[in-house]
Amino acid sequence: MTVRPILIAGDPRLSTPAVPVTVFDEEFAAFVEDLFATNTAADGAGLAANQVGDPRAVFIYDLRDADGRQRGCVVNPVLETSERPETMPDPEDDLEGCLSVPGEWFPTGRAHWARVTGVDATGAPVSVEGTDYLARCLQHETDHLAGHLYLERLIGRHRREARRMIKDRGWTVPGDQWTPGTSSDPR
């Protein structure tokens, strides 16, 4: 397993929709294991393939919530959710972060419930359903594969703060990345 560098906001690969996975071979299985290793090294809740520069439609999740540890892989995901709130998110209860926006957290409105269907790393059908933190993670990672960072979901002053942060950090050029567990870790 290899810990891969994670792309930082501003890289166009993060805004490019993923391509469906059609080959489930040893190389793909090893890649999925790399996603888990990278996510663990970064202390993340999930990681999408395009965050490490790979265009395939796959994400992993590995988090702890009220239901215990939730861990898995979804390939070619299709997302369903309950209604998304249209009000200002709670600045304490709705904080969201991203490994491609390291060290930053912003209140983000998400649906309370989500289900993702697709296949696993071997091509077998899979369905993952959850509320609260797991639902947030499923929506976040599916957004990545559609070419969207969570920053695009921000509203009001939070959206303005995020834009200012991106500019202040210089995250406006392709190729910025960081490798978890190394001196390039920006957190």
Cα-to-chain-centroid distance, residue 103: 14
Q: Determine the Cα–Cα distance for residues 112 and 151; give it in Å rounded to an integer.
A: 18
The reported pLDDT for the residue numbered 65 is 84
Residue 98 counted as an annotated binding residue: yes
Backbone angles phi, psi at 90, to 5 degrees: -70, 125
Structural element, H or E, at residue 27: helix 26-42
Length of the chain: 187
Q: Determine the Cα–Cα distance for residues 78 and 127; give it in Å rounded to an integer.
A: 9
Q: Which of 147, 171, 177 is nearest to 7 (CA)?
A: 177
The reported pLDDT for the residue numbered 183 is 60
Burial 74-108 (b: 16+ CB within 10 A, else e): bbbbebebeeeeeeebeeeebebbbbbbbebebbb
The reported pLDDT for the residue numbered 61 is 98
Q: Of the listed 26, 80, 83, 141, which one is catalytic?
A: 141
Residue 112 counted as an annotated binding residue: no
DSSP for 61-122 reads: EEEEETTEEEEEEEEEEEEEESPPP-SPPPTTTSEEEETTEEEEEEE----SEEEEEEE-TT
The reported pLDDT for the residue numbered 184 is 63
Q: Are 3 and 43 in contact (CB under 8 A)?
A: no
The reported pLDDT for the residue numbered 187 is 56
The reported pLDDT for the residue numbered 1 is 87
Average pLDDT along the chain, 187 residues, taken 10 residues at a time: 95 97 98 98 97 98 91 98 81 88 94 97 97 96 98 93 93 90 68
The reported pLDDT for the residue numbered 87 is 73
Catalytic status, residue 141:
yes
